[in-house]
Structure formats: C-alpha cells, structure tokens
Amino acid sequence: MKVLKFGGTSVGSSDSIKKVVDIIADYSAENTHVAMVSSAMSGVTNKLVLMGHKASQNDESYLGLLKEIEELHFDTIKDLLKVKNQSHALASVKKMLNELEDLMHGVFLLKELSLRSTDLLVSFGERLSCYIINAYCNQQGLETALLDARQLVKTDDRFGKGRVLMDVTVKNIKEYFKTHRQIQIITGFISSTDKNETTTLGRGGSDYTASIFGAALNAEEIEIWTDVDGVLTTDPRQVKKAFSLSEMTYEEAMEMSHFGAKVIYPPTLQPAFQKKIPLRIRNTFNRDFKGTLIKSLADSGDYLVKGISSIRDISLINLQGSGMVGVAGVSSRLFGVLANNNINLILITQASSEHSICFAIDPADGALAKKVIEEEFQREIEAGKIDGTIVEEHMSIVAIIGENMAHTPGISGKLFNSLGKNGINVAAIAQGSSERNLSIVISQKDISKTLNTIHEVFFLSDVNTLNVFIVGIGLIGGTLINQIREQNPKLEKDHALKINIVGMTNSKKMMFNDEGIELDNWKENLISDGDISSVSGFIDKMIEFNLQNSVFIDCTSNAEVVKGYEKVLKHSISISTPNKLASSGDLIYFKKLKSLAAKNDVKFWYETNVGAGLPVITTLNDLKNSGDKILKIEGVLSGTLSYIFNSFVEETTFSDVVKTAKEKGFTEPDPRDDLNGMDVARKILILSREVGIDLSLEDIEIKNLLPQSCIDAKSVEAFFNELEKSNDYFEKLRIGAYKAGKVLRFVAKMENSKASVGLESVDQSNPFYGLDGSDNMISYTTDRYLERPLVIKGPGAGAEVTAAGVFAEIISLSHFLV
C-alpha cells in the first residue's frame, strides 16, 4: 500500500483536485492500494486563523472572510459535481460552515480566542476539503470513504501543536483499516485528545499525518505531492537556480526541514525513518517527474553539499561576562531555565573561552527569554560577573547540509570566502559534530544574497553570474551594453559566465531587472518604461537589491557619480570605470576608495583611464608586483594629440590639421580642451599614483603648447582665427625639429617622482618617432627593461576599444568574485 499526501496547492482549485483524483484513479486502476491524506485548500488555513484573530478583536470584518471561505468551497463543489450530486454536498458543507459561524460568533462575543478554539477553528479547512474530494471521487466511480483523522490520531492537550500519542494512534489506525477497505480520504493536520477535543499537529502538519499513517500501515512508500519538483537544492522562492535532488537520506532531509525547508514538515520524517519507509516528494503539476526519494542509503550526489536551507526570522541572544569563565553549571542553568519556559533553541554556539554563550530562538520567545535569563542570573548580573543578555533581532539562519560534508576539508573555507567577498557579515557559526550541517547566522537583509551566493559556490560552478549596474549609457556605456548582449551566449558557453545587466541609467531614466534586463530594445525600453533617475537613487536601489557578485560600472565623466563610489565600495560592490575623475582627483579620497575596496575584498578598477583598451595599468602593476622597479614612464597618451602631431607634416598647416581632427570627431567640441594638456596630465598622474608616487594634479608640470592669444580667444571660432595667425609659430617648431632629424610629439613623462607633459622633439631612436594615426604609446623603463624599455602601443581612444576594455575588466573581475 501507498500513502499519498496532497498539499494545499494540490487541492487549491477544482482543476487541481481533478489532477489529484486522476492520480488516485491511476493507482486504483493498476491495483495499488492507496490511502490519501489531504490538506485544506490552499490559503484556507491562513484565512481561518485571520478570521479567528479578527473575531477575537471584535472586528466584524471576520464575516467577510467567512463569506470568502464559503464561496470558495461552494464554487468548487459546483465546478466538480454534477447538478444532481450538488445539493447534498452543498447542504453538508453549509452545515459545517454554520458550525464554524457559531464558533466564530462565540469568539466575537467573548473577544477571546484560545489555542483550543483555534485548533477547532482551523480543523474546518481539512474537513471541508476532504469532504469535497471524497464526494468527487465517489462521483468518478472510485470507492473512497471520508476519514476524519481526529477519530484515530491522538495527541496530548498541547493545543496548536499536539504531541502524538504514537502507540494508541498506531493501534487505532491498524484496527480501522482492518475493517475499512475503501480508499480512505484522510484529513491531514488534525487530531484529538483522549477527551476528543480537537487538536492539530502544527502548521504544515498534514505531511506528518501521512507519515503516521504510512508507518502504522507499513506502507511501501509515502508520497508527498506538492507544487514543486521534490526537494530542491534550496528554497526556489529565494534562488531561481535551485534544482531538484533525486535522492537524499532521512538525516539529510531532517536537517533540511529542521532548518527551514518548508517542503517537508520536520516531524514527518521520524515515523517513516523508524520503519524505514521511503518517502517520495513529487509534483502534482508535473506528474511524470520522479521527484525526490528519501531513504536510508541515498546516493550522495556529485556535490559537496546536498542542500541549503534557511530560517528567515530568528533572534540571536548573547549571554556574556568575565564571571562565566570556568564556572561549571552556567550553561546547564541557562538551558534549564529556557527549557522550563518551553523556549526552543534553534542553534547554540559557545566560544572556547567560555566568556559568552550565544543561541538562536524564535523571535516570539525573545522577550520571555531575556526576562527569565536575567531572573535566573540576577545575582551574577548584580555582582558584575555576567553582563546581561543582548538580543539581536531580524536575523536569519542559513545552513548547508549533506552527508558528503563529513570529514571533507575545505568546505567552510569555500563558504566563508564567498561570503566575505560579497560583504556578508556572519554573526554566529555552528556546526553539529555529525558535520552534516554547518549553520551561520546572518542579518535578515542579507538572506537572499547569502542563499544565492552559497548556491552559486556549491552547485553552479557550471555557470556563474555577474550582476552589473551601468551608469552612463552614452557612447561608451551604450557600446558596452551592445558588446555584452552580443558576447553573452559565447561567454556562457565557453567561460561559464553570465553577465546580467541588472540596472542601467542615464541622467534622466533608470531601469532594473534582477534577472537581467532584456537587451534587445534596451534603449527604447529605458525611455518608455524607465523611472526618473538620480545618481544616489540608482546607487541606493542597487544596494537594496543586495545581489551577490555585483559590479558597478561608471561610464560617465561625472564628478557626482564619483562621490557615490565610497558608498558603493562600502557595500562590497566592485567598481570598474573609464571615468578618470576618481583616480586623478583628490588624493585623499582616491586613497580612501582604494583602502575601502581592499577592506571589503572587492575591486576598484580603472584600466581604461589610460590608453583605453590597452593593458597599461595592468602591465604596470604586473611589473611592480613581480618586483621590478619603475624608473621612468613616458607616453603619448592622447589619441587626439597623437593624431594632430602625427599628421602635422610638410605642406600642412597646424590650424588645418586641428580643424580636420575636429571634423573627424577626434577632438573635444573645443579643441583647446585637448591642446591644453590637462587630459594627458591626468593620465600621467594616474600612472604615477599607480607606481606609488603621491602626486596631485597641481604637481604635474604642464608645458603650455598654445600661444596666449589662442588661450584667450572667446569662442571656438575665434580660437581657430588665432590659431591660423599662429601657424608660423608652429611651423617654426616643426622645421626646427625636422632639421635636427626629429619630429614633434606631445609627451607625458614621469621620472624621479616628478611628472610633466608637453611638446617635445624626438629623434629616430625614440619609439614615439614612428607613431602614426591616433595611436597611443607608453614606454616603461624599469630595472629589468633598462636598455630597451617595455613599450605598449595601439589605438588609445574611441568608444569601441574603451568599451571593450571595460568589458575585459568585467570578465577579469569575475575571476575574483564568483
């Protein structure tokens, strides 16, 4: 025989009930004897509880809820039953509902709802659902009979969560089934005392009912039918990538359920385990899927851990004091007083110094726990030996579970490393000596991030996800988004990496999607559906998402965004940016950002600040970190100035060359913003700082290139007029160089802790001599590269190469984060 249990969602509507009855009918057709346990229709138990609460508050709106419950059951009968069968069913259900109404009216008048009345109240859920299912089964020609479990399942009088009196219950069930051969449709969850007062087995208790019947009847298997594909690696509501487990041991299932996996009610496992009856968790809505089999010896699977579970809301209590050290009996008194007050401990840790004991409890018990502990230790507290209790609220427990964890080194290393990188603070740690469970206590706000991070680390090394937030979607940002869109399928295939753009914003609009923004029409969607944006609003929203492996990309040249970096890094989010304003701005702020990144174990990277996509800063760091000493840096660091001086040859005039450069879009709208050397000065400043020389922009010597009249000109047009008048001056410079066998180059330099930028004449022996187009070139003279400096050359400007540089940086980041 098999015992099948169907949860609330499986019997939540007439369509679902039809599916359930099909399952029963199929077993019946193949002559497998079954008994069925059912929950209340989904949502009904909650509604009953709420209704009781309202009535006890003398709030008449409980009547509305009663009406809703009535309508749900009436409608279900009308959907399922043929007209000729309806009136009898409607009358019987109405009778039950009248009884319920009388009970509620009493509660309303008395303004009081005891646990005893609550149990009676919620029992209507299962009684109603099972009545209807049985009626429908009969109509479909199945030989079924309704069984009110209160007749057989006996408990003590702890209302709300009765303790099952197993011997008498098992005896009752065996007796009953001897004489009742039809398929029994059994009410889950409900039970009664020896005085026949209604009790319940605790919320979610229908699973337990099934297990009790399965064990009593020596079933070959107990099937728990629910709305997901069995037991998944973790809660699918929190982690979208959770997947179904094919097998697990009773112990693993116990750990998972005790630590919050709602899919099985924890006490369920005990009766099945004792009788070694396998449990199978299956999906009513995916019948062909075999689900999860729970048994004694289960396949241990391919992963180090079996599953991850969590308890969302707990309070953490800490009892500490110097007087506790070495004093025997503190813990026994502590746990004794908690036990005497029925306060259940979820987790305990004690430091080996014995200076403090820390434990987790249900928040509902928090105030009571504090009171009784402080009473118990009143003398020690007054004597200053114990400091009293500290209660931390809004905490969660996350546990990793699995038989494979025992005696396997490295699991906690892996766990804590990933938590650290994602800025998740661990408040307490506990590992059972079985090593089958490692639990951590974290702040509730981090729960989703924690579950996703751990899941990624232990289960999904196949595809890692980076969650990216982009500010600035102009030329560079827009190009980057398109590059990511095009490259994502290949990254996923070849590098097991998925880049989710979770947020994007320009100065006007922002949009988010924690599963990744659809990138096909991102521009149009942002304009039509985006929300009003602000830099701080965007950053706050990103922090609120609290996603693992988050990266903030600043593709603006905006100082306001840079001000937000501090907050970003503090929240353990890495930064990658082509924006030069942080790395070449205020030195103290820049250093602070670097140390914040180090402290929070995230990256603050800006490779594209110099030479766009060329590996300029990375190479410098590689040289430095491998012990080389940087003696000199020289570079043509501006694509614009490179183009201008490479094109300024015989038979051209300087003003024409600048004009052409402007027409080709190589210059800023006012070319003086390039010719004034400021941009190049910022770049050599960034490289100098990278070498460890603390310079500021004022320290860079900028040798002016333009005659004063050009600088003073009021408009761009006036500037070009002045520039034309200065052609002779530039021509003279060019000829002078030419006669000496040299060419003009705008060069940045750093040597002996001093940096400068300016126009220079270089001869053929200088690598800058042969530059052409708008290429950048950087040469590093070091201890190792002394005679022939290390030279990096290539296109150093343009949206494509800059975006590609940022893209490469994001991919490098993935090696550190996930």
Q: Which residues are catalytic?
A: 683
CA separation for the pair 190, 209 (Å, rounded): 8
Nearer to ligand ADP, 20 or 813 (CB): 20
CB 14, min distance to ligand ADP, A? 17
Partner in contact with 615, chosen from ligand ADP, ligand ASP, Mg ion, none, beta carbon below 5 to 8 Å by kind: none
Nearer to Mg ion, 7 or 585 (CB): 7
Burial 174-201 (b: 16+ CB within 10 A, else e): eebbeeeeebbbbbbbbbbbeeebbbbb
Binding-site member from 39, 193, 320, 450 for ligand ADP (CB under 6 A): 39
Binding-site member from 2, 3, 4, 8 for ligand ADP (CB under 6 A): 8
CA separation for the pair 265, 270 (Å, rounded): 11
Alpha carbon distances (Å) from 797 to 431, 540, 577, 776: 54, 32, 15, 8
CA separation for the pair 99, 116 (Å, rounded): 16
From 164-172, 221-229, 246-254, 325-333, give the range in contact with ligand ADP by CB under 6 A: 221-229
240 binds ligand ADP (CB under 6 A): no
- Three-state secondary-structure class, residue 786: coil
CB 10, min distance to ligand ADP, A? 6
From 6-14, 172-180, 395-403, 530-538, give the range in contact with Mg ion by CB under 5 A: 6-14
CA separation for the pair 579, 682 (Å, rounded): 11
Nearer to ligand ASP, 125 or 795 (CB): 125
For ligand ASP, the binding residues (CB under 6 A) are: 7-8, 39-40, 45, 125, 188-189, 203-207
For Mg ion, the binding residues in 266-295 under the rule CB under 5 A are none
Partner in contact with 203, chosen from Mg ion, ligand ADP, ligand ASP, none, beta carbon below 5 to 8 Å by kind: ligand ASP
CB 210, min distance to ligand ASP, A? 9
798 binds Mg ion (CB under 5 A): no
DSSP string, 605-637: E-GGGTTTTS-HHHHHHHHHHTT--EEEEEEE-
Binding track, positions 291-320, relative to ligand ADP; x by CB under 6 A: ----------------x-------------
**Tell me, what DSSP letter sits at residue 662?**
H
Nearer to ligand ADP, 7 or 795 (CB): 7
Nearer to ligand ADP, 232 or 398 (CB): 232
Binding-site member from 111, 237, 591, 754 for ligand ADP (CB under 6 A): 237
Q: Which residue is nearest to ligand ASP (CB)?
A: 206
7 binds ligand ADP (CB under 6 A): yes
Alpha carbon distances (Å) from 435 to 305, 350, 404, 452, 564: 11, 17, 9, 22, 43
301 binds Mg ion (CB under 5 A): no
CB 307, min distance to ligand ADP, A? 6
CB 189, min distance to Mg ion, A? 9
CB 12, min distance to Mg ion, A? 12
State the DSSP H helix or E strand holding residue 413, giving kind and residue range, or none if neither. helix 411-421
Binding-site member from 81, 93, 232, 710 for ligand ADP (CB under 6 A): 232
Alpha carbon distances (Å) from 513 to 44, 494, 569: 33, 25, 21
Nearer to ligand ASP, 45 or 548 (CB): 45
Alpha carbon distances (Å) from 67 to 64, 71, 80, 130, 202: 5, 6, 20, 19, 25
DSSP string, 512-550: E-TT----TTHHHHHHHHPEE--HHHHHHHHHHH--TTE
8 Å CB contact between 281 and 292? yes
The residue among 700, 704, 706, 703 whose CA lies nearest residue 681 is: 700
Nearer to ligand ASP, 9 or 726 (CB): 9
From 63-71, 82-90, 202-210, 346-354, give the range in contact with Mg ion by CB under 5 A: 202-210
CB 437, min distance to Mg ion, A? 21
Partner in contact with 505, chosen from ligand ADP, Mg ion, ligand ASP, none, beta carbon below 5 to 8 Å by kind: none
CA separation for the pair 428, 425 (Å, rounded): 9
Nearer to ligand ASP, 8 or 585 (CB): 8
Binding-site member from 123, 184, 193, 234 for ligand ADP (CB under 6 A): 234
Binding track, positions 34-53, relative to Mg ion; x by CB under 5 A: --------------------
**HEC string of 308-331?**
EEEEEEEEEEEEECHHHCCCCCHH
204 binds ligand ADP (CB under 6 A): yes
Cβ-based neighbours of 507, under 8 Å, separated by 6 or more? 533
Binding-site member from 116, 161, 262, 370 for ligand ADP (CB under 6 A): 262
The residue among 257, 270, 264, 266 whose CA lies nearest residue 307 is: 257
Nearer to ligand ADP, 146 or 231 (CB): 231
Nearer to Mg ion, 204 or 503 (CB): 204
Burial 330-353 (b: 16+ CB within 10 A, else e): bbeebeebbeeeebebbbebbeee
CB 210, min distance to ligand ADP, A? 10
**HEC string of 252-315?**
HHHHHHHCCCCCCCHHHHHHHHHCCCCEEEEECCCCCCCCEEEECCCCCCCCCCCEEEEEEEEE
Can you read off the two tokens belonging to residue 400? 């990793």
CA R_g for the chain = 36
Binding-site member from 70, 101, 227, 514 for ligand ADP (CB under 6 A): 227
Angle formed at CA 302 by CA 300 and CA 307, multiple of 5 degrees: 70
16 binds ligand ADP (CB under 6 A): no
Nearer to Mg ion, 204 or 321 (CB): 204
Residue 21: what residue type? V
Binding-site member from 34, 133, 231, 401 for ligand ADP (CB under 6 A): 231
Partner in contact with 205, chosen from ligand ASP, Mg ion, ligand ADP, none, beta carbon below 5 to 8 Å by kind: ligand ASP
CA 360 to chain centre: 23
The residue count for binding ligand ADP (CB under 6 A) is: 19
Nearer to Mg ion, 212 or 415 (CB): 212
DSSP string, 540-601: HHHHHH--TTEEEEE-S--HHHHHTHHHHHHTT-EEE----TTTTS-HHHHHHHHHHHHHTT
DSSP string, 487-504: HHHHHHHHH-EEEEEEEE
Binding-site member from 160, 202, 236, 758 for ligand ADP (CB under 6 A): 236
Q: Can you say whether residue 574 is alpha, beta or left, with left for phi > 0 and alpha for psi between -120 and 50 degrees?
A: beta
Partner in contact with 235, chosen from ligand ASP, Mg ion, ligand ADP, none, beta carbon below 5 to 8 Å by kind: ligand ADP
From 149-157, 256-264, 627-635, 784-792, give the range in contact with ligand ADP by CB under 6 A: 256-264
DSSP string, 371-384: HHHHHHTHHHHHTT
Partner in contact with 616, chosen from ligand ASP, ligand ADP, Mg ion, none, beta carbon below 5 to 8 Å by kind: none
Partner in contact with 45, chosen from ligand ADP, ligand ASP, Mg ion, none, beta carbon below 5 to 8 Å by kind: ligand ASP
8 Å CB contact between 243 and 233? yes
Binding-site member from 228, 317, 547, 602 for ligand ADP (CB under 6 A): 228
204 binds Mg ion (CB under 5 A): yes
Nearer to ligand ASP, 45 or 439 (CB): 45
State the DSSP H helix or E strand holding residue 116, giving kind and residue range, or none if neither. helix 115-139
Q: What is the binding site for Mg ion (CB under 5 A)?
A: 7, 204
Footprint of ligand ADP (CB under 6 A): 7-10, 39, 204, 226-228, 231-232, 234-237, 261-263, 307
